[in-house]
Structures are given as structure tokens and as C-alpha cells.
Structure 1
């Protein structure tokens, strides 16, 4: 069995990520004298102060993801967010001070973003934010670039993660893993093939979506709310972006969507994407050695999953 990274090892990983971000910034002509770590979970997010630039350095990669695959995903994110910014959508945009492309350095692939002043007085309001997602979906409908279908589901990564967990009964009981793998086998064809999805959910349609809980990734700033973190941007049903936020948030989205001419959420599709999200959550147990806090964070969702049967109506 693998051993969890120690606190010192995780701190050293953060130090390496910050050093790589600082060096990459200086190589691109940025003044960096006071790097400040803003966030450190799956990625280390560093403000290259005094330059108005933030670097996001992913440090915890799921099984099956390498730097080349990560860079491809980052290029998609940069292209989508650049387009949104150019068309007036309020986003945290790529930094205009460096080339808009992923940067490889010292074993990391990183992206550079414009620094914004957060409004520290703002309280999270995910119901209000869910309504704002309708405006984002309206803007994304016009995105002209090509996007893969439901790449945010990361089917290869999930399959690889479950294979890792098969060797780790200390992380998940074998009977629970068997159930999770069986459920994943049932729904995996629907995220891996648009044709299969369309057959299961006719007339729903797909479009460019944020891909990673946009109601959570709306940043309150001194200049208003900004959409952020488009790392998993993909083509998919709009329900993907509202999964797990609850009925009140879904109702808020529906009301806002009606106001801008978009369809309401389909509750069966919503249950489907929430089932996929649950599979992704369980798969995250494969990352506990690198990020021990995940184990405690995942447990409430696991308890809910244990108490609920798989929604059979998803498969027609």
C-alpha cells in the first residue's frame, strides 16, 4: 500500500510549484519580489506580486493524466476564456502581459491570469450564483471553437482511478468499490459517446459549458462577480454545470434561463450528471495519498451515496 505524503512533503511540493511559477514569470519579463500563495489544494495559485499576474500550477494530477494531456486541457481553457473576455463576458481573463499559452517548467504545466482584487466582504451565495450561470450559458452558446464531448467527466481517469482503488482496501471497502465500478460501467457509455447520450436523452441538446461547478467558481471582486476556473470546459448538457447544488439553485437557474430564452433544466438529465459526479467523487479517493484532506471532505458524499440506490430511470 502507498503511504500518504507527509506535511513536509506537501510543503516541499508547494515550494517547488511557487519557485517554478516565479522563475517562469521572471523569464517572461515580470517583476516578482513578493510571491503570495492564494490557494493550495489541487493547484497552487500564486500572485506574482507586485506584477498583476496570478499563476495557476496544478500539482495533484489524477491517474491517467500527464503533463501533455494537462497542457491540452489548459489550451482549451485559455482559448475559451479569451473568447469570452473579448466578447464582454465578465471573466478572470488570461494575463495580457505574457503569451496566452501553457508554460512547462520544472515538471509543472502552468497558466497565467490577470490579478483581480477579491471582495473579502462577500458571502458565498450559490443560489444567486446559479442564476448567473444562465447568462454564462447564453454567452457560451456562441463559442465558435471545437470542444470534445463531456471531457469533464474524464472517463479514462475514472477507470484508471478505480483500478488504483482496487489495490487500496484501506481507502474504500471492496464491496463499495464493486458497487461504484458497476454504476460507472452503466453510465460510462453515455459520457463517452454523444450518440449514446443523444439516444438516452433525445431532444436535450448539448452546448459549450463551464464544466466545473460554475456557481462555485464565480469570484466576487471589487469590480463585480467574475466567472473563473474553466479548466474542464467541454461540450455537454447545461445540467452538468448545476449538478449537486440542490433544488433551490436549480429553480433559480430555471427562472434566469427563462428570462434569456434558454430551456429549463431537465431533472432526469440532472440526476444523470449527479450520478457521474458521484462516481468522480469516489474516484478522488485515489488521490488521498497526495491530498489527505480529501478523505474527510469526501466522506459526507459517500454517506449519502451509501444511503441511496442507483437511479435506474437514467438508463431508460
Structure 2
């Protein structure tokens, strides 16, 4: 039986996250008298007004109790965005008003960012954004810090979720779950092992990438666009950042790559990341009890997945067990 959080429980979680952020901000020396929630989906994002600081507190997580692993990923994001800002890349970098490290309080792990005024009259142009991602990738190539291979795919989360979905039959049908498990048999070796990936896709190359659909995570600030939300920053093929966006966005990215002298997208690697990205969507069904509204976004994606080539067109005999 699947038990969903009630509206009151969701409100209590948001309130607890805001309370933790306010207390942490005050301990760090910020004046906080009028906290304002800006977003509340996978994370609670709260402006610690009147201080020009925003706290982001992840709340919908596969393992909410594992704050150590979460803090490691948050530190990667802080380090990468700070470095990019130092290179002159337009990015939302960590707030300079507090130490640039994750802060844990009351069972939450949070990071702090500058408050940037949004240009609400501008509608995002996702195709133009996709073209600009090629420039972001060109800048990220030189990042000197360590990053894990395809950590954004979170293979452990996928494996655990596909094992658990038998207990959540209100979320997925038998045939859908069977397809997902068979696809995972093909894709898992390639995402678990860098050596396997490189053997299967020679010449594709790996580099630091944003990790979470950067065309959809460009913030329209009043002073210009800023790359944002590097929570899933990872080492991977550039194709990962264009997963499931479609041919128009892929063509736009390729225009940007030609302009800045980097390589265009590889069709086979795109097939792989598209299939892997859809398995992450299936795995995310296990988070619906924590955030019931997710179902209205995930269900159309699962339906679309049914029309896509099985496992991105890869076959078991094409994989390499590293």
C-alpha cells in the first residue's frame, strides 16, 4: 500500500525547513525578520529577508536521512559555481556573506545563495538556452576539481527504486515495471562503470557537466541570464545535459558547439542518456508519496517513454562489463 503525505504534513515539512534555515542564517550573522518562500518542490527555497541571501533546503530525497552524502553533493555545487564565477561565467554563485559550505540543522542540509531579482516579464527561450549550454560546457571543461562519473544518474537510486516499485502498484503498471527492469539490465553496466562507458562510446569523452537539464535552469535575472541550480553537477558526456529535450534543442546545442569549436552531440550517446534519463523518471515515482503533486508531471513522461526505443537502441551484447 502506498501512503501519501497529507497537505498538513507537507505544510509542516515546509515550515520546519524554513525554521531551520532562519535559525541557521541568524547563527551565521544574518538579519532575518521576514523569511519568504520562493519555491517549494524538491527543495524549499527561502529568501532570508531583509538579508540578500536565499537558503535552499532539499526536502524530497531518496535517502533524506543521509545528510553526509547530500552535503558532499552540495559542496560540489558550491565549489563548481564559485569556480565558474571566478572564470567570468554568468552563474549564480554562493553567497559571499556566509561560509561557502553546507550547513546542517534540525535534520536538514542547506546551502546559501545571493538573492537575485528575477525578470518576471521575460519568458524563457529554451531553444536559445540549449544553444548557450554549449558555451557553459566549454567553460566547465577546465574545472580542476574532482567529480564522480555520472553521479547525477544516481544508479543506486534507480536500482533500489525498481526493486521497491512492486510495493507501489498505484504508481506503475506491471508491463511498465517489467520494461524498466529489462532496460536497466542493459544500461546499468554503462552507468556504474566509467571504463564500460568509455569502451562502448569511444571518442565521446567525459567532462564536468551541469547534470540537471541546464536549458531549463537558466535564471532570467533583471541584469541578464545566469546559469543556476548545479545540484547534480557530475562528470559525464555533454549529452547528459540535453537528455529527453528533443531534436530542436539538440540542433540548437550543435549550433552553439560549432560556434565555439566544441564537438556536436553524438547520436548513440544521446540514445543512452535519453533512456537512462527516463529510467530516472520511473525511479522518481518512488518519491511521489513524499510529494503527491509529482505524479501529474511524471505520468506524461512515463507515457512518452513507452514510445521511445527500448534501452535507447542499445543491446546487451553491445555493453561492456567493466
Length-normalised TM-score, structure 2: 0.96
Task: Tell me which residue corresponds to 1:115.
Answer: 115
Give how far 1:246 is off: 1.2
Give CA-to-partner distance per residue, 1:164-201, whole Å, 9 cap, x none.
Answer: 21212121122321211111121011111111001111
Give CA-to-partner distance per residue, 1:93-136, whole Å, 9 cap, x none.
Answer: 10000000000000000000011011101102110000110110
Counterpart contact for 2:129–2:218, Cα < 8 Å: yes
Give me the whole-angstrom Cα distance separating, in 1, the residues matched to 2:128 and 2:247.
13
Structure 1 stretches of at least 4 aligned residues deviating more than 3 Å after TM superposition = none
SS of residue matched to 1:249: helix
Length-normalised TM-score, structure 1: 0.97
Give how far 1:311 is off: 4.6
Is 2:163 the counterpart of 1:160? no
Residue 53 and residue 182 in structure 1: after superposition, are their counterparts in 2 closer, same or farther (change >3 A)? Answer: same
Give how far 1:295 is off: 1.1
Give how far 1:153 is off: 0.6
Counterpart contact for 1:65–1:157, Cα < 8 Å: no
Residue 312 and residue 135 in structure 1: after superposition, are their counterparts in 2 closer, same or farther (change >3 A)? Answer: closer
Task: Tell me which residue corresponds to 2:133.
Answer: 133
Task: Tell me which residue corresponds to 1:244.
Answer: 244
Give me the whole-angstrom Cα distance separating, in 2, the residues matched to 1:197 and 1:307.
25
Give how far 1:64 is off: 8.2
Q: How many residues align?
A: 316
Structure 2's unaligned 5+ residue stretches are none
Give how far 1:314 is off: 2.5
Task: Tell me which residue corresponds to 1:271.
Answer: 271
Structure 1's unaligned 5+ residue stretches are none
SS of residue matched to 2:46: strand
Task: Tell me which residue corresponds to 2:73.
Answer: 73
- Higher mean alpha-carbon deviation, 1-10 vs 208-217, is at 1-10
Task: Tell me which residue corresponds to 1:220.
Answer: 220
Task: Tell me which residue corresponds to 2:39.
Answer: 39
Give me the whole-angstrom Cα distance separating, in 1, the residues matched to 2:87 and 2:307.
45
Give how far 1:2 is off: 3.4
Task: Tell me which residue corresponds to 1:48.
Answer: 48
